Structure 1
Amino acid sequence: MTFNLKTESESPERTTLHLHGRLDAQTFNDFDRAMLDVLPRIPDGGTVVLDLSALEYISSAGLRSIAMIRKSMRARGGHTLLLDPQPQVRKVFDIVKAVPLQEVFANTQELDRYLDHMQRQVTGDGSVGNA
């Protein structure tokens, strides 16, 4: 199987990347090149959501690519969050402790609740969206 990437921008501050297939030694270069275009368009303090629901396999090369995204976003005061990794992919992250568990979400609703909570902490306002 190959690798495909779909980019979706919910807002200027939040971009979701839908990863499909295999992120491995044969496909990571394509992913890295795509990130050279995508990441600069996300403003400082923004959020990248990696939707891993259709990612069937990740190798150490793929882990390196995701680590580079996380490093880039952190350097700009931003965040990288993982959404709905398949069990075998989540196991890889668990084994190598590549991503803190608080940055991994089981589904979109869980992610939206987290983002809503974080925004409420910043604004101190109980009226931020009802995700």
Structure 2
Amino acid sequence: MTFSLNVENESPSRTILHLHGRLDAQTFNDFDLAMLDVLPRLPEESTVVLDLSELEYISSAGLRSIAKIRRTMRARNGHTLLLNPRPQVRKVFDIVKAVPVNEVFANAQELDAYLDRMQRQITGEEPTSDR
């Protein structure tokens, strides 16, 4: 199986990268090259969400690629969050402790709730009763 990437600019401050297939020694370079195009265009303090729901396999080469994204985003005062990892992919992250557990989300609702809490902490806004 090969690797493919779809980029979704959800808002000026959040970009979703949909990873499909295998991110391994044969495909990581394509991913890294794509990131050289995508990441510089993102504004400071933005968030990159890696949607891993269609990622079937990740190797140490793929982990290095994700680590590079995390370093780049931190240097720009931004965030990198992981969404919907399949069990086998999540297990790899768990084993190598590559990503803090508070940056991995099971679904979009969990991610949105986290982002809502982050923003409310900054603005001091009280949560509404419908959330």
Partners of 1:76 and 1:38 lie apart in 2 by 14
Using the TM superposition, give the Cα deviation of residue 52 of structure 1 relative to its aligned residue in structure 2, in angstroms.
0.2
Aligned letter for 2:71? K
Counterpart of 2:85 in structure 1 is 85
State TM-score, norm by structure 1. Answer: 0.96
Report how many aligned residue pairs link the two structures: 130
Q: Is 1:101 aligned with 2:101?
A: yes
Give the match for residue 114 of structure 2: 114
2:72 counterpart letter in structure 1: S
Q: TM-score, normalization: structure 2?
A: 0.96
Aligned equivalents of 1:17, 1:93: Cα separation in 2 = 18
Q: Equivalents in 2 of 1:12, 1:42: separation in Å?
A: 8
| Structure 1 residue 37: Cα displacement | 0.7
- Secondary structure class of the residue paired with 1:56: strand
Question: What is the CA–CA distance in structure 2 between the aligned matches of 1:42 and 1:127, rounded to whole Å?
Answer: 29
Paired letter, 2:58? I
Residue 60 of structure 2 corresponds to residue 57 of structure 1: no
Q: CA RMSD in A?
A: 1.3
Which aligned segments of 4 or more residues in structure 1 are displaced greater than 6 angstroms?
none
The whole-number CA distance in structure 1 between the counterparts of 2:96 and 2:127 is 39
* Superimposed CA distance per residue, residues 40-70 of structure 1 (whole angstroms, 9 cap, x where no aligned partner): 1111110000000000000000000000000
Structure 1: which amino acid aligns with 2:81?
Answer: L
- Aligned partners of 2:127, 2:35: CA distance in 1, in Å? 34
Alpha-carbon distance between aligned partners in 2 of 1:127 and 1:40, rounded to the nearest angstrom? 34
Deviations 1:13-39 (A, max 9, x none): 100000000000000000000000110
Q: Match of 1:10?
A: 10
User: Using the alignment, how far apart are the partners of 2:122 and 2:90 within structure 1?
Assistant: 30
Identical pairs, percent: 77
Q: Which runs of 5+ in 1 are unaligned?
A: none
* C-alpha deviation, 1:126, in angstroms: 2.9
